Every structure is written in structure tokens, then in C-alpha cells.
Amino acid sequence: MTTSTAASPVLKVEGIDAFYDSSQVLFGLSLFLNKGETLALLGRNGAGKSTTMKSIAGIVRGRKGSISLAGKEIRGQAPHQIARAGIAFVPEDRQIFPELSVEDNLLIAIKRNQQGGSDWTLERIYDMLPLLKPLRMRLGGQLSGGEQQMLTVGRALMGNPSVILLDEPSEGLAPIMVQKIGELIGTLRELGTTIVLAEQNLHFCLGLADHAVVIDKGKDVFYGTIDELSRNDDIKQRYLSV
């Protein structure tokens, strides 16, 4: 990591490792995220983006390093404790409840995460994701991939997280849905939501992210503003598929 950041980032990951059985996939990875900022996590297929997010969310446990949220250490906590502490993870495979309606998928999140009052309501979610409103009684399993992606983001918001981790939200979607997901992230950013956005596609992150971390073979190899990255041909050619 080459650049220092503001004094107290909301999320600070320092020198973590991660293993699947005995195979190591993260090697001393660090990143910083300031409140209200969108951080792009970029890297090729298999670079370690999902593992980084799963490590933050407590799904993959490492042996070293520190992960702190608003100054409190969360590394080693169980996923439900980390979710309760304010981190929402939207996985690549979406994981909505296929047998529940859109509305119940949303309501279940508020029940599970509500800690005395909630800023996000069904009404606000439907205002921001108007596409979901006419589908509110449809079963989750009957939605298209893009609709499911909208639903997972809505569900994450219902827990009023302080940080949202979005794992390749545009993956496998039709261009029109990719555009809608981009607009949604733009709106969330304007609302001051703090986001980590894992992506293979730098182009998708331009105009959406403030800073970027590039990961290669489980290590952070670049940290800077998204504009600095877009001008850095060497890093782009070496580590990104552009």
C-alpha cells in the first residue's frame, strides 16, 4: 500500500492473509475505506477479490492481520456478529430466498438486523428501486438475474449497514441491467453510502468509485484514486483485463 488515507477510515484492513484448506490465497493484503466513499476492488479472475470480501464478512477466516470497523476489531468474529456490527455482504451468487416473495426477502432483512429503528423502509427501497415495486409479490426464484441483483442490494440496505460489500454486481447481467446497477451505485454514493465494489471491469467503476485497490495473486499492488488508476497504463496492463 503506497498512499496514506484520512486519519480514521471507517473500514481498515491491514496485512490479512486467507487460506482455503492449506492453500494460501491472500498475502498481507491491506485496504482503507473512508466514510461515504466508494472503493473499487479490482483484479483479474481469481486475484482474490471475493476472498477479500469474504474475509471482511467473516466467512473466510485468516490467521494474521487486522480488520477494524469504526476503530473496533472485527477479525475473528462470526459472520452474523460482523453483519450486526454494520457490514453487509452482497455475494456474487446473490443468495436470495427463492421461495419467498420479493417483499418478504426485504422484510426478513429488516427483522434480522433492526436494532431499534431503521432508516431504510420498504417505501424508500421501492422508491430507489422502482423496478421491484410491481414485482413485490413475485417469488425471489422467479426473478431475472438483474432483478435478483437489485433485490440483494435492497435487502442489504434494509439492515442499515455502515459498509456495503458488493461482489461483482454487474457480472452476467444484460447491458441494460448493468447500466441500472451502475445508476443504483451512483445513487447510493450520492446518499453517502459507504461501499466496497469488487469488479473485474475498470470501465464500470469509472465515475462510481473514489479510490481503487488493485489485487493480484492475493496482494494489493496499487492504491490510489480511480483517476490515477485510469491514467496508469502500466498497472492496467499488468494487472487488469483492459
Residues that bind ligand ATP (CB under 6 A): 20, 25, 43, 45-51, 200
d(CA 59, CA 76): 10
For residue 104, the minimal CB distance to ligand ATP (Å) is: 29
Number of H helices, E strands in the chain: 9, 10
- DSSP at 95: -
Cβ-based nearer residue to ligand ATP, 109 or 215: 215
Complex with ligand ATP: residue 38 or 200, whichever CB lies closer: 200
Q: Which residues pair with 222 in a beta bridge?
A: 214
Q: In the complex with ligand ATP, which residue's Cβ is closer, 120 or 239?
A: 239
Contact present, 122 and 154 (Cβ < 8 Å)? no
What sections of 159-209 are H helices per DSSP?
175-190, 202-205
CB of 46 to ligand ATP, least distance (A): 4
**CB nearer to ligand ATP: pick between 48 and 126:** 48
Cell numbers of 109, please?
A: 432483512
How many other C-beta atoms are found inside a 10 Å radius of the C-beta of residue 78? 11
CB-based contact 105:151 (threshold 8 Å): yes
Closest approach of ligand ATP to the CB of residue 29, in Å: 11
Q: Compute the least distance from the CB of residue 171 to ligand ATP, in Å.
A: 8
The least CB distance from residue 19 to ligand ATP, in Å, is 9
Q: Which is nearer to ligand ATP, 214 or 226 (CB)?
A: 214
Q: Name beta bridge partners: 72.
A: 69
